Structures are given as C-alpha cells and as structure tokens.
Amino acid sequence: MSRAVLLAVFSSVCFSLTYIFSRIGALGASSMLGGFISSVVVTVLFLPWIAATVPVSAFKDPQLLWFVGLGIFMPGLVRAIQVEGIKRIGAAPSGILRGLAPFVSTTMAVILLGERPSLRVAAGTCAIIAGLVVLSVRRGELRSWNLTGVVCGLLATFIWSVRDVVIRHAAPRVGYEGLAIFVMSATSMLAMGMGCLLADRGAFGRAARRGVVGFVLVGLASFGALITLFAALRHGEVVVVTPIVSTQPLFVLLFAPLLLRGMETVTRLMVLGALLIVLGGALIGMR
C-alpha cells in the first residue's frame, strides 16, 4: 500500500473524529464559537513549528494567497456549517453526506487539473457512492432528512472537495512544509473571531465547559487530519486521495457507539453501506 494511501486513511480517521467531537461540542457551544475554537487550536499547534523552521521572507510567497482564500472558509466556517448539520441530523448522517466528496473532487480534478482516474479508481469511487446511498436509507427516521441539515452537510462536503483540489494545485509550490496549513488556519481563526464578535457576541458567555472541551478536541483531530491530508496530496493524486479520505462514514459508525452512547444509533443498512465504502477504499488503495 502506498504512502499516500496510508496517509489518507489516517486523515480519514482524524476527520471522522471531528464529527464525533463536534456532536459533543454542539451540546455546550454555538457552531460559530466552535469553528473559532477549533481554528485557534490548529493555529497554536502549528505556531512553534512555523516559528522554528520558516523565515519571515517565506510569507511573501504569492502561492500563500490560495490558502488565505481557503482560510476564509475552512476549517472554521465549514466546521460551523458542519456543526449546524450535525445538530439537525446527527453525526453519522452528516458523516455519510461527506461520502459524496469523491464524486465532487474527482470531477473537479479531471476538469481543472487534467487528472485521469483509472478504471479501478473509478470503480472504487462508485462503490463509495453506493455505500453512501445505502447509508442514507433510514427507515422511520425522518430526522435524517431534515432539509436544513442535509443542505448544511452537502455544502460542507462541497467546500471540503474544493479544498482538496486547491491543495493539490498550490501546496507543492509552497517552499516550507506546514506553512500553507498555518496560513489557512490563522486566516480562519481571524475570520471566525470577527464572525463571533459581529454575529454571535454572546457565544463566549453562553458556552459550557463541555462545549469548549468538545471543540478543542475537534481542533486536535483537525490538526492531525490536515497534516496527513496535505502529505497525502503531495504524494498522490486527488482522484486517489479524496475517495479514501471520504471513507470517514465508516469510522464515524465505529466510533459513534463508543463515544456517543445514547446519542447515535447504528443500523444494519449503515453497516452494509460502511462495507461498500471499505470496498471502494480498498479498490483505490490497491497497486
């Protein structure tokens, strides 16, 4: 199994934990504040590394403007959108919607980057999407189809997919490892801080300890997910990496019964869908 595939699997595990911890954090803090807290954690964790290895002159690199643009939307804003979806439909269904990312990112990679997925990669992507369809069938649970929650989940998925294409295009041109992620997360921290002050000033006073801890854990998981995602996209193509990273629903299903007891349920259809997702990831990861 290639290095890119292993990194993508680890990134998927970390991203799945952001859904679990977001579900916990949403019980005690607003989505806007959650996006701010998670962005602060990622930025603070990267700061010593950047201070020790990156000269000030490196910040003049015009390629970093790509990541300033990304930082306006992620990880803070897209995390807030994701949390709004999780509040309405739950962590597992929200994670399931993330499974659409291979279709979105592969299409963009083919159109914008000229990448060509092999027949095996295409079959793996189709298996992941089939798993998503199976997982979306929730008998007698109309909550899963809450329109606002579904729209939030789909919007977050689209933004994550755009991120992967931009990283694949611009990150290799940035001379210092980690600098692109730092710029993105620092921009996000500033943007979400301004958002809290302008649109949700009372969020800090309303926040409960459980909510703050939950979103700090989201930040820690995001840190691990972003490091491995950037590394995977340096070593592999979007059409390979993104479908594997999008196996997040499988790990959400595994973690939910352990970490969200009484808050999330796992059905047979969800297990079947998860198996299809694993099959898709295996097809893509084979060499």
Can you give the three-state secondary structure of the chain, one letter per residue? CCHHHHHHHHHHHHHHHHHHHHHHHCCCCCHHHHHHHHHHHHHHHHHHHHHHHCCHHHHHCHHHHHHHHHHHHCCHHHHHHHHHHHHHHCHHHHHHHHHHHHHHHHHHHHHHHCCCCCHHHHHHHHHHHHHHHHHCCCCCCHHHHCHHHHHHHHHHHHHHHHHHHHHHHHHHHCCCCCHHHHHHHHHHHHHHHHHHHHHCCCHHHHCCHHHHHHHHHHHHHHHHHHHHHHHHHHHCCHHHHHHHHCCHHHHHHHHHHHHCCCCCCCCHHHHHHHHHHHHHHHHHHCC
Average pLDDT over residues 152-178: 78
> Using one digit for the tens of pLDDT, what is the confidence trace for 13-42?
998 899 889 888 888 888 889 889 999 999
pLDDT band at 248 (very low <50, low <70, confident <90, very high): confident
- Altogether, the residues listed in the chain come to a count of 287
The pTM of the full predicted model, rounded to 2 decimals, is 0.74
Span 117-142, pLDDT tens digits: 678 777 877 887 787 677 666 555 44
- Cα(61)–Cα(181) distance, integer angstroms: 14
Most confident of 29-33, 88-92, 155-159, 272-276: 29-33
Report whether pLDDT(144) > 50.
no
Greater confidence (45 vs 198) lies with 45
Cβ atoms of 218 and 34 closer than 8 Å: yes
Q: What is the mean pLDDT of residues 105-116?
A: 69
Peptide bond into 75 cis (omega under 30): yes
Contact in structure between 229 and 8 (CB atoms under 8 Å):
yes
Q: Where are the domains of the chain?
A: 3-285
Q: What is the mean pLDDT of residues 239-264?
A: 75
Rounded Cα–Cα distance for residues 124 and 138 (Å): 24
Please, are residues 110 and 74 in contact by the beta-carbon 8 Å criterion? no
